[in-house]
Every structure is written in structure tokens, then in C-alpha cells.
Amino acid sequence: MNPIEHIEELGRNARSASRVLARASTRAKNDALLAIAEAIRNAQDDLQTANATDLAEGRTNGLDAAFLDRLTLNDKAITAMVDGLAQVAALPDPIGEITDLRPQPSGIRVGRMRVPLGVIGIIYEARPNVTIDAAALCLKSGNATILRGGREAIHSNTALAQCISAGLIAAGLPAHGVQVVQTTDRTAVGALITSPQWVDVIVPRGGKSLIERITREARVPVIKHLDGICHVYVDKAADLDMAVQIAFNAKTQRYAPCNTMETLLVAREIAGAFLARIGPLYLEKGVELRGCEETRTILQKVGITAIAATEDDWRTEYLAPILSIRVVEDIDAAMDHIRTYGSSHTDSIVTNHHPRAMRFLREVDSASVMVNASTRFADGFEYGLGAEIGISTDRLHARGPVGSSGASCTASTSNGACFSWARAIARERARSADSVRS
């Protein structure tokens, strides 16, 4: 198969299907989601056979255990996909919603209507469940989708694509509403991301190098997120019980997600008291601590030896049980640190001092900025947006968790400005994020 011709064919099909999907009724879209779920349930054996082929090839090619784990479509993974489809069907339909309809002095009424984007291209790694998650969100929001999963999952994805087509047809929607790229040739990706005539936006999901390459080469707008170097700043006016809960949760609830804290900033005035309390908790949990000189001195007093943090530590997204800690003079020093080393993903202040909380919200330039909340709350479900396919750290386009009905934290263009963006803020009282799923 010629990969460029293949993308052209998919693109033409998607463009045509997108017009039908854009005006599809909520009922038809939900019927399709549930029919896809049923098709997956009925095809469980075939899916697992196709998946076994991918797994066997993966083993032959020496893929590691974690990789094979993400690639595996066991019963549990299939049930999760089926449940996910039902959840998206249960979400409100974002399309057609009219908001802010207001009379103007001229007598006209002006408002906004939410409509689909058109055709979404999603490029992701070898995780077959993403095929269904992404298809479901795009379908619910009336968009056509072209999915290009990692080549190691090609058999699984092709089998899933058949279930998706069957579901679309059963609901009377165009079978080409969701298409899976049928070639593992990388030329196809190049064609996909440089075809604004077929694709309206590209969403890359995966490692930093994938996202960087796509951003560099794309001629279609890309909604992306890169690093999540998230900070918690414990202010001198923090409730220390709350600060301990939040800082512990933000680091340890899960290590791999992008919204996990990587650097803890502590106001000098309360650093001694606070670090003496939180240090032993991290130690007990097996978190390796890397600190500035002051941090190390304080921790040493409670018998904890922290490694000396280097400049590199402040810039690192560990995604692991490692935490860097820095003592700072005040909120200005904390915000300077975040500005210098952060990745504009999610940053939180713990304080009971209202003016400083407001300054932090206003001056920290991140997609999600929080007061008295764990960074782990930066999540589409937690923000009430439903499933998300990524957290955007862009300034324009979307910002924050991106799901079928919105980026919570939205966009520069949000309430629409060219010149300002809306972003998520979250507050809570002494609450940790144990409920966060992912």
C-alpha cells in the first residue's frame, strides 16, 4: 500500500464523514458508542487473537515487560474499553449548545454555539485502549477521526477498527467516521500531519520525542503537552497539616502521571517545621530526596540524608519516586523558580493568606494553577470535563485537560480573547487527591 495514497484516501473519507457526523443527533452518536461496545464484547476472542499476534511479534522484537503490558488486551482491558464507551455515551452532548446569547444595543442577539472541529488526527503509542478512548471522544463531539497507533499494535488496532466501523454502521452513521491507519510506514505519519486539507488538528499522545518531532514537522495545528514539571509551594502562612497531606499526595499517589509534583518549594520561615514532618513520610514511602543545601541541613537534623540537588534536578520530570526540594525566601522566589524551571503544566500554592493565593493564581503562568490542592487534581474527570485525551500546555489552542466538551482550563481564546486565556484554578480545604484515577 502506498502510504501517501492511503492517507489521501482516509483523509477524503474522513472529510466527507465529518460533515455527516457534525449534524448527527445525540441519539445516533450514543447508539454508535454502545454498538461499538457491543461489537467489542462480541469480538473479544478475535481481538485477543489479533492482540496475541502483536504480543508474539513484540516478544520476538525484544520489547520490555512494561511495553508488552500496555499492549495487552486481556479481559480486564477489554472490559475497561467497553465501560469507557458507555461512560462517554452517558456524557452530555457538547455539540449545538448555545451559550451567552445576549441582546446587544443594536437589537441583535449574539451568542456562541459549540460545533465540531472537523477531522482530528490522533497519533499515539502502542496502547490499543487509546484507539477506543480517542474514537469515543471524537465521535461524541461530532468529529471524524484518523487514528495512527504505534506499529507494534497494528493487528490489535485493525481488529478494533472493525468493531468501530460495525458500531457506526449499526447506528446509521458513516463507517469512515473513525478510521485506523492501516500501514506502519512512517511516511504515512508525515502525510497525515502535513495535510490541512484533510485534517484540522493533530493530537499527539506519547513520549516527548514523538511530540517534538510532530510539532516540528506538522503543517496542521497540533494540540500537545510536553513535560509536567509540577510544583507545590508551601507558603509561610500554610496550614502545615494540610501542606503535609497535599505535598505527600502530590508526589506519592502515583509517580508516572504528568500531574505528579516533581519539585517541592518551601518558604524559609516554616521550612524547619515542615520538612521535619514531611521528610520521614517520604522516606518511609521510599521516595529519594534531592535537596538544596538548606533542605539537606534541615533533613539531616531528623536523620535523613538527602542528595545534593543540581541545576539539572530542577529541570527534570522524574516520573519516579524521586523529589527535588528547595527552600525559598518567599512567594516571589517561588514564582521565580517556577518561571525558570517549570513547564507550565500545573503548580499549586498551600497558604491561608488570601492576597498571596490570588497573586499566585494570577502570576503563575501555567495551564492549571491551584490553591490548597494537590497537583494530581489536574485531570479532566476531576475538573468535571469527562474523559480527556491529554493535558495541553500550549498558550493558544487548548490549555489544560482536553476532553469532548472542553479544555477546562481552556484557551487563550477561551472566553475568547486573543489576549488572555482562561486557566483552571482549583481550591480545596485540606483534601488530598486519593480519588484521582489516573
For the segment 408-427, give every residue that binds a copy of itself (CB under 8 A).
408-427
Applying CB under 8 A, among 190, 206, 221, 321 the residue interacting with a copy of itself is 221
Q: Long-range contact list for 247-251, CB < 8 A, 24+ apart?
A: 247/278, 247/350, 248/278, 248/281, 248/282, 248/285, 248/432, 249/374, 249/376, 249/432, 249/433, 249/434, 250/348, 250/374, 250/375, 250/376, 250/433, 251/282, 251/287, 251/323
Q: For a copy of itself, which stretch binds (CB under 8 A), given 3-11, 31-39, 91-99, 261-269? A: 91-99
Applying CB under 8 A, among 99, 256, 284, 311 the residue interacting with a copy of itself is 99
Rule CB under 8 A: say whether 102 interacts with a copy of itself: yes
Distance, CA of 147 to CA of 121 (rounded, Å): 6
259 in Cβ contact with 227 (< 8 Å): no
Distance, CA of 232 to CA of 375 (rounded, Å): 7
Applying CB under 8 A, among 104, 209, 284, 311 the residue interacting with a copy of itself is 104
Compare residues 53 and 92 and give the one whose CB is closer to a copy of itself: 92
Q: For a copy of itself, which stretch binds (CB under 8 A), given 173-181, 295-303, 325-333, 378-386? A: 378-386
Compare residues 288 and 428 and give the one whose CB is closer to a copy of itself: 428
Applying CB under 8 A, among 65, 66, 98, 256 the residue interacting with a copy of itself is 98
Q: For a copy of itself, which stretch binds (CB under 8 A), given 58-66, 147-155, 291-299, 358-366? A: 358-366
Distance, CA of 235 to CA of 334 (rounded, Å): 9
Write the CB contacts of 2 (distance below 8 Å, at least 6 apart in sequence).
none
44 in Cβ contact with 220 (< 8 Å): no
Distance, CA of 141 to CA of 43 (rounded, Å): 26
> Taking CB under 8 A as the criterion, which residues in 45-84 touch a copy of itself?
none
Applying CB under 8 A, among 68, 353, 359, 438 the residue interacting with a copy of itself is 359
Compute how many residues bind a copy of itself; rule: CB under 8 A.
88
Q: Which three cell numbers stand for residue 158?
A: 485493525
Q: How far is CA 171 from the centre of its chain?
A: 29
Q: Which three cell numbers stand for residue 403?
A: 476532553
Compare residues 341 and 377 and give the one whose CB is closer to a copy of itself: 377
Compare residues 116 and 279 and give the one whose CB is closer to a copy of itself: 116
Residue 274 to residues 271, 278, 305, Cα–Cα distance (Å): 5, 6, 16
Compare residues 35 and 201 and give the one whose CB is closer to a copy of itself: 201
Applying CB under 8 A, among 16, 272, 428, 438 the residue interacting with a copy of itself is 428
> Taking CB under 8 A as the criterion, which residues in 380-409 touch a copy of itself?
382-385, 389, 392, 395-400, 402-409
> Taking CB under 8 A as the criterion, which residues in 271-300 touch a copy of itself?
none
Compare residues 62 and 107 and give the one whose CB is closer to a copy of itself: 107
Compare residues 43 and 367 and give the one whose CB is closer to a copy of itself: 367
Shortest Cβ 272–a copy of itself spacing (Å): 29
Compare residues 294 and 428 and give the one whose CB is closer to a copy of itself: 428
Compare residues 76 and 429 and give the one whose CB is closer to a copy of itself: 429
User: 309: which DSSP letter?
Assistant: P
Stretch (H or E) spanning 15: helix 3-22
Shortest Cβ 130–a copy of itself spacing (Å): 15
Nearest one of 374, 135, 403 to 257, comparing CA atoms: 374
Residue 143: other Cβ atoms inside 10 A: 25
399 in Cβ contact with 409 (< 8 Å): yes
Sheet containing 368-371: order of strands? 307-308, 288-291, 322-328, 261-267, 230-234, 346-350, 368-371
> Taking CB under 8 A as the criterion, which residues in 114-143 touch a copy of itself?
114-118, 120, 137-138, 141-143
Distance, CA of 47 to CA of 274 (rounded, Å): 52
Rule CB under 8 A: say whether 367 interacts with a copy of itself: no
Applying CB under 8 A, among 62, 107, 286, 303 the residue interacting with a copy of itself is 107
Q: For a copy of itself, which stretch binds (CB under 8 A), given 113-121, 153-161, 184-192, 234-242? A: 113-121
